[in-house]
Homo-oligomer: A and B are copies of this chain.
Amino acid sequence: MFSKACEYGIRAAVYITLQSLDGRRVSVNEIAEEIDSPMAFTAKILQQLTKNNIVDSVKGPTGGFEIEREAMDTVKLSKIVKAIDGDKIYVGCGLGLKECNADKPCPLHDKFIDVRSNLRTMLQSTSLYELATGLEVGLTYLKR
């Protein structure tokens, strides 16, 4: 469904959100450990999240990644997915056709529209804050 990079990206963003709720800035090192992801690769993905203004980064000692309280609400999963995987997951044809639309649909077009809009709606309506609070309460997990 999502690329590995995107999975790591979402998990990292949720972890940063969780820690930012406590006012803690976190390093790549800590993030990779806590979400069980490869360190250097995670660093690359965090660069993308930073460039896309999804999280903030601070260099130097005591530096690390954080996210503003407001962004926790405004950043939806769709923004992260789009930044890392692009929007092909909503936009593209399920069977890989370049031209596939209501006028010239692939055989799966109509059935796929449902599934995809379901997914899109879910991603567009789920905020980082929402995901982090489940973690905070100990209801959900980011590792293993």
Residues of A within 8 A of B (CB): 1-2, 4, 7-8, 10-11, 14, 77, 89, 92, 94-100, 104-109, 111-112, 114-115, 118-119, 122, 126, 131-132, 134-135, 139-144
Contact = CB atoms under 8 A, between A and B. Distances in A.
Given A143-B97, A144-B98, A122 B132 contact: no
Contact of A89 (B1, B4, B108): B1
Q: Which 10 A-B pairs have the closest CB atoms?
A: A7-B96, A107-B131, A107-B140, A99-B144, A115-B119, A118-B118, A107-B134, A7-B95, A111-B122, A115-B118
A142 B107 contact: yes
A140 B107 CA distance: 5
* A7, A77, A139: residue with the most chain B Cβ atoms closer than 10 Å: A7
Nearest to A92: B1
Given A10-B95, A107-B142, 12 more contacts: A10-B108, A11-B96, A77-B108, A97-B143, A99-B144, A104-B141, A107-B132, A107-B140, A112-B122, A115-B115, A115-B122, A118-B118
